[in-house]
Structure 1
Amino acid sequence: MTSSASHAHHHGPGHHHEHGHGQAGTGEDDALAVVLDLDAEIFAPYLDAVTRRVADLAGDGVTHVVDLGSGTGTGTFALLERFPHARVTAVDSSPALLARLLDAARAQGRGDRVRTLETDAGAGLAGIADADLVWASASLHHMDDPAAALDGVRAALRPGGLVAVAELDGMPRFLPDDAVAGRPGLEARCREALDGLHAEQMPHMGADWGAMLAAAGLLVEDDRTERLELHAPLPAGVGRYAHVVLDRIRGALDGRADPADLAALGTLLDGGPADVRHRDDLVVRSTRRLWVARRPAETVKG
């Protein structure tokens, strides 16, 4: 999923995540890229299944796909693979991430199938009016005005074209309840504090996208929720993934959570025996939801 993980709010990977608030070449872009790429690696089977479902609904003849909030290109490359005759327009507000994506596409010999559009998607998709599919993974909840953004998506779609909105319920969970002795329920409390932060800073996270898609004059054809749970033997990279995500969470909650909980979280990140990179009791849990909607042949909004 394309990921939109948060620059400013450190809300986990999939917030795949508000690409585009960092400056080109910043360390924050690099840190975000690590989160997005690890998330894509860990949940690759889910992304494969989701793009297959979208392709089934899209049918034959898909030639132009838009990846809205493209980040490091997870969605872009999955869509290039799924739709071998399509070109993809990668849309993001981070020039550094777009440059990284385009370099990767050229290295794969796919540069001629990818173009980039640096813009805030909330301002519309200038110059796009023929898209067969718009893919928006964990990006819409970052928009100041998602209703306006969806109006722009509808305008970018050809009649009969699809939009796929993929979202997740915040940070993935990794830890057993007793991960740190004397601090049972540590991850649940951190999650609650993070949810409070998100409610302040991203009021559209957790929105009813089905209703918003319908309000934009689009016909919802699919709405499915999957609760993913990965147990041992875990994919390679889970320990590092957990470390990067929990470290970003610790930074986001500095001054907002119980100092004892932040200290306990630190013991899972400091290279000691409890460090998540060395543990064998991690379980990765994440809830992900997909909506797919179609622009009618004739759309009258209202």
Structure 2
Amino acid sequence: MSHHHDTTHIDWDELGPLLERGAELQTPLYRQAAAWLGELLPATGIRRILDIGSGPGVLTTLLAEAFPYAEVVAVDATEPLLARARARAERAGFGDRIRTRHAEIPDQIGELGEADLIWAGNSVHHIGDQRAALGGFARLLRPGGLIAVVEGGLPTRHLPRDIGVGRPGLEGRIDAAAGEWFTRMRAELPGAKDEVEDWRALLGAAGLTPSGTRSFLLDIPAPAPEAVREQLVSAFTWQRKILDDLLPAEDLALLDRLLDPEDPQGLRHRPDAYLLTARTVYTARLG
């Protein structure tokens, strides 16, 4: 859940809370995913878990809940996010079972130690050579171990197609711009290689046996509660910043209206704002 690309230019005091709140809102979705992993693996046999790209540790604590006999290691390249993960672990009462590890991935994959379960949540796409990274993760798995890769799903939706101001279809155009931004980001990663994003095939190429794929839905209907509304404002503010050169002027102006706390059409006042998304988890076993 951490973004490893161009971290020197990211204000983590700003992005850290955004990532943490966003993950907190998706807790019901990820709790379902963790419960599903508990069906695939015997909880009593899972003694060590790696949470790759852990960010602020929301998923780390959920994994600790789902697998009560395991040490869970939050692995991230960003120390401010690991500090949030440590604080969250203490608040949740998992300070004795959750560890943090500052590591640059893929360079330090081999230093992470063996694991019974590796969770890579929205993190593999931040690695230039995704195929090689999955191979490195596979070498860390103990016999019978499982890797769970979270990639793709469905674009998040917050607003109706026609919101009564501006040209209809704003979120579709934001998706297209974000796709262009993502392509640029991938191309700039060290050792970047083009790869068909067939995750089952990539896991198979790493010497693993695909063992199931499921998508998990998060549906918070309108009118969105205050916590969701605050997150929407933060998310749209971030998109407004990173997509500045990829969206037409009319859409940037519309985003400014949506973010204006005084505008009656803004996100803080709209009765039609909601949160709908889905995340897909791909799993594979060693042996």
TM-score, length-scaled by structure 2: 0.89
Structure 1 counterpart of 2:248, one-letter code: D
- Asked if residue 263 in structure 1 is aligned to residue 253 in structure 2, the reply is yes
Shift of 1:126: 3.4
- In 1: Cα distance, 2:278 partner to 2:101 partner: 30
- In 2: Cα distance, 1:100 partner to 1:38 partner: 12
Matched residue, 1:35: 18
Matched residue, 1:178: 162
Shift of 1:235: 4.7
Which protein has the bigger helix share?
Answer: 2
- In 2: Cα distance, 1:285 partner to 1:168 partner: 14
Q: Give the unaligned 5+ runs of structure 2.
A: 188-193
Q: Give the unaligned 5+ runs of structure 1.
A: 5-17, 297-302
Q: Which secondary structure state, in structure 2, belongs to the residue aligned with residue 176 of structure 1?
A: coil
Matched residue, 1:220: 210
Matched residue, 1:15: none
Matched residue, 1:187: 171
- In 2: Cα distance, 1:171 partner to 1:244 partner: 17
Shift of 1:205: 9.3
Deviations 1:139-171 (A, max 9, x none): 001101111211111111101100011123575
- In 2: Cα distance, 1:270 partner to 1:171 partner: 24
TM-score, length-scaled by structure 1: 0.85
Matched residue, 1:22: 7
Structure 2 counterpart of 1:193, one-letter code: A
Shift of 1:20: 6.9
- In 2: Cα distance, 1:251 partner to 1:206 partner: 29
- In 2: Cα distance, 1:193 partner to 1:242 partner: 18
Matched residue, 1:247: 237
- Single out whichever of 61-70 and 251-260 deviates more from structure 2: 251-260
1:50 to 23, 33, 44: 33
- Asked if residue 277 in structure 1 is aligned to residue 268 in structure 2, the reply is yes
Q: Which secondary structure state, in structure 1, belongs to the residue aligned with residue 204 of structure 2?
A: helix
- In 2: Cα distance, 1:178 partner to 1:133 partner: 44
- In 2: Cα distance, 1:246 partner to 1:224 partner: 28
Structure 2 counterpart of 1:295, one-letter code: L
Q: Which secondary structure state, in structure 2, belongs to the residue aligned with residue 71 of structure 1?
A: coil
Query: Are the counterparts in 1 of residues 61 and 94 from structure 2 also a CA contact under 8 Å?
Result: no
Deviations 1:181-222 (A, max 9, x none): 242112211211221221232267982211111110111101
Q: Does the C-alpha gap of structure 1 residues 189 and 74 become closer, same or farther in structure 2, counting only changes over 3 Å? A: same
Matched residue, 2:190: none
Tell me the matched-pair count. Answer: 279
- In 2: Cα distance, 1:130 partner to 1:99 partner: 23
Structure 1 residues 111-130: aligned runs within 5 Å: 111-130=95-114
Query: Are the counterparts in 2 of residues 20 and 93 from structure 1 also a CA contact under 8 Å?
Result: no
Structure 1 residues 44-193: aligned runs within 5 Å: 44-59=27-42, 60-169=44-153, 172-193=156-177
Shift of 1:106: 3.0
Q: Which secondary structure state, in structure 2, belongs to the residue aligned with residue 132 of structure 1?
A: strand
- In 2: Cα distance, 1:230 partner to 1:109 partner: 28
Q: Does the C-alpha gap of structure 1 residues 52 and 205 become closer, same or farther in structure 2, counting only changes over 3 Å? A: farther
Give the CA RMSD over aligned residues.
2.2
Matched residue, 1:8: none
